[in-house]
């Protein structure tokens, strides 16, 4: 599984839940996100490689599931966070079943408000380690 396969697997996990998918450096999110809800994948970072020709690569992943938020949602965000947290768990379960995925560990889900773009959004930032097979 290469980086492109990871993007494809994540897109396949979030699109059935109604999210558009975008990826890149988080500083570009405001310019690139046009529709909500959206799933934003920060650029994955390889944190461990086992075997150079064949083996595994572990990536540190940061995935943001975001919903546009109006004033009322900002004042009482728990309903949105509850829904997005559930979507995050469903997406991660789907990702864990993707071909080439060995493990999905150290999951942390952090609620956010108005942190990714200047559009006004609520969401969950899921950070985790994704261990995948690789073969050159």
Q: Tell me the chain's radius of gyration from C-alpha atoms.
A: 15
Q: What separation in angstroms does the CA of 85 have from each of 3, 57, 73, 131, 133? A: 25, 27, 15, 22, 27
This prediction's pTM: 0.89
Please say if the pLDDT value at position 108 is more than 90.
yes
CATH number at residue 109: 3.30.70.1700
Q: What separation in angstroms does the CA of 107 have from each of 24, 100, 121? A: 20, 19, 22
Give me the number of domains the chain comprises.
1
Assign 70 a pLDDT band (cuts: 50, 70, 90). confident
- The boundaries of the domain holding residue 67 are 3-135
Q: Which residues contact 85 (CB under 8 A, 6 or more apart)?
A: 109, 111, 124
Please say if the pLDDT value at position 136 is more than 80.
no
Q: What is the pLDDT of residue 124?
A: 95
Assign 15 a pLDDT band (cuts: 50, 70, 90). very high
């Amino acid at each position: 599984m290469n980086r492109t396969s990871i993007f494809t697997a994540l897109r396949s996990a979030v699109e059935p839940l109604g999210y558009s998918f975008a990826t890149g450096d988080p500083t570009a999110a405001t310019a690139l996100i046009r529709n909500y809800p959206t799933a934003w994948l920060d650029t994955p970072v390889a944190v461990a490689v086992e075997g150079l020709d064949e083996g595994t690569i572990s990536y540190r992943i940061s995935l943001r599931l975001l919903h546009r938020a109006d004033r009322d949602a900002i004042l009482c965000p728990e309903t949105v966070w509850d829904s997005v947290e559930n979507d995050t768990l469903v997406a991660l379960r789907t990702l864990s079943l993707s071909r080439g995925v060995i493990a999905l560990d150290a999951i942390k889900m952090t609620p956010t408000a108005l942190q990714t773009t200047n559009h006004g959004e609520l969401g969950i930032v899921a950070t985790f380690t994704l261990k995948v097979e690789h073969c050159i």
